[in-house]
Amino acid sequence: MKTRIIQTAPDEPAKSTKGESTASTRRIDRWKASFRRLTHRWSSGSRGRNAILVAAVLGCLALALAGTASASLSQGNQRQDLQRDLDALVAGGAPGAILFVRGPHGEARLASGLADIARSKPMQPNDRYRIASLAKSYTATVVLQLVAEGKLTLGDTVEQWLPGVIPSGADITVRMLLNHTSGVFNYEFDPAVFEPYFNGDLDFYWSPLELIAIANSHAPLYAPGQTSQSTYSNTNYAILGLIVKAVTGRSIEAESRSRIFLPLHLAATTYPVAETTIEGKHARGYFMLGAPPLVDLTEISPSISGAGGAIVSTVADVAEFYRALFQGRLLPPNLLAAMKTTIPSGGDLGQRYGLGLEEYETQCGTAWGHSGSFPGYLNYAFSSEDGKHQAVLMINADPTAMPSLAGFYDLLFKSFCSTS
């Protein structure tokens, strides 16, 4: 596999965003430290694997800043206003961006910038991308469907379904895994997880059991359930994926396809865990190590996220999933209510965490959904409680590629409230 390092015009190192959560900062710092070594090794030429492509990014972006739009809102001025803000987000440092908005006046699918810098390929509204931790809402939905079917309960323990997998498994319940109150260490914070990738092997596959074993090598953060705040850990969802397989005999990918993707006709949504390539038209993902050059990490193995973040989709498919969820097409009312029972999370926007679901307060009311970042991608999904008002925003860069995320967050909230 060839890794592309994209030379950009010199700029100031990316600055941290005010209010960014400690957990998000730690995750990004780990990625930056790991991939700084990766970049050095690939660009040195010692492995014969590198393909260094020089691109004048700002010049390329100028070709795409006009953006593209489809299925427009009936209020043309509003659509144009959102397009200008999306263009400004790209001008501010994002290689490309896509925005989906749905409200009483219809829907808009807007794009700006580039999906592929090296090829000067403009971003399109229906380009696919890695949705990262938004996948936790999908996994949680599958788990809660099994609860609805009487095959599982929220009080079941890890030990009941996965004997010996977690030392404290007898005290950790399914509910604790779903809302991140298990106290289990987040394997992402162990440098060993990224070692294969900064050694140049982007195809390296981690099994869920291997990642859980890495988490087990660290002391728990606290005793199971002994917290008043959600403590984000991908390990929780790696365990949930295995519980789904123990209950059904099928992988979380297969269950997600049959229970969610197919019934909702999410034709652009797939769940690659071992495959590193993204099929079809897609946005390439770029990683910034605090300063140029950008590194193209599109084809890094999604196995590092698994049941917590390996789904590939489009903004429209993401919006359709959340709309179906909140309109009661996937879960019975009591379990949807349980999903929306939240606790503080210490998140970057003050969000609270439920069962695979985040709750945000906006100037126009409560937004439900999730956030997600993966090397090369950042996206958020907001939906009203009835699923009639929605905004999904993505950029094909890690957060540190942006001098500031203020414009991203401003557009996210503005686009959601524009549907009210």
The pLDDT, as a whole number, for residue 410 is 97
Q: Mean pLDDT throughout 94-107?
A: 95
- Tokens 């209020």 -> residue: 75
Rounded Cα gap, residues 199 and 130, in angstroms: 23
Rounded Cα gap, residues 41 and 216, in angstroms: 30
Q: Mean pLDDT throughout 165-175?
A: 97
Q: Mean pLDDT throughout 117-134?
A: 98
Helix (H) or strand (E) holding 51: strand 50-54
Q: Is the pLDDT of residue 66 over 50?
A: no
Rounded Cα gap, residues 419 and 417, in angstroms: 5
Which has the closest alpha carbon to 168: 181, 179, 178? 181
Q: Is the pLDDT of residue 45 over 90?
A: no
CB 236 within 8 A of CB 187: no
Top-confidence residue, 344 or 31: 344
CB 165 within 8 A of CB 242: yes
Dump pLDDT digits (tens) for 282-329: 999 999 766 788 889 999 999 999 999 999 999 999 999 999 999 999
The pLDDT, as a whole number, for residue 43 is 33
Looking at the annotation, which residues are catalytic?
A: 133
Dump pLDDT digits (tens) for 49-59: 233 222 333 34
Q: Residue 31: pLDDT band by 50, 70, 90 thresholds?
A: low
Q: Mean pLDDT throughout 238-260?
A: 98
| CATH numbers and ranges of domains, the chain | 3-417 (3.40.710.10)
Q: Estimate to the nearest angstrom the gap between the alpha carbon of 61 and the chain centroid.
A: 24
Angle value at C-alpha 397, between 184 and 61, nearest 5 degrees: 175
- Helix axis angle, 208-216 to 234-248, nearest 10°: 130
The pLDDT, as a whole number, for residue 36 is 46
Q: Is the pLDDT of residue 171 over 60?
A: yes
Rounded Cα gap, residues 358 and 370, in angstroms: 5
The pLDDT, as a whole number, for residue 291 is 73
For residue 339, CA distances in Å to 145, 177, 204, 330 come to 11, 12, 34, 12
What backbone phi and psi angles, to 5 degrees, belong to 188? -60, -25
Give the burial class of 106: count Cβ atoms within 10 A of its Cβ; 0-12 exposed, 13-18 middle, 19 or more buried.
middle
Within 10 A of 329 (CB to CB), how many other CB atoms are there? 12
Dump pLDDT digits (tens) for 356-386: 999 999 999 999 999 999 999 999 999 999 9
Q: Residue 1: pLDDT band by 50, 70, 90 thresholds?
A: very low
The pLDDT, as a whole number, for residue 75 is 59
Rounded Cα gap, residues 396 and 155, in angstroms: 39
Min mean pLDDT across 5-9, 92-96, 145-149 is at 5-9
> Mean pLDDT for the chain?
86
DSSP per-residue letters across 311-351: -EE-HHHHHHHHHHHHTTSSS-HHHHHHHT--EE---TT--
Rounded Cα gap, residues 237 and 224, in angstroms: 15
Q: Residue 27: pLDDT band by 50, 70, 90 thresholds?
A: low
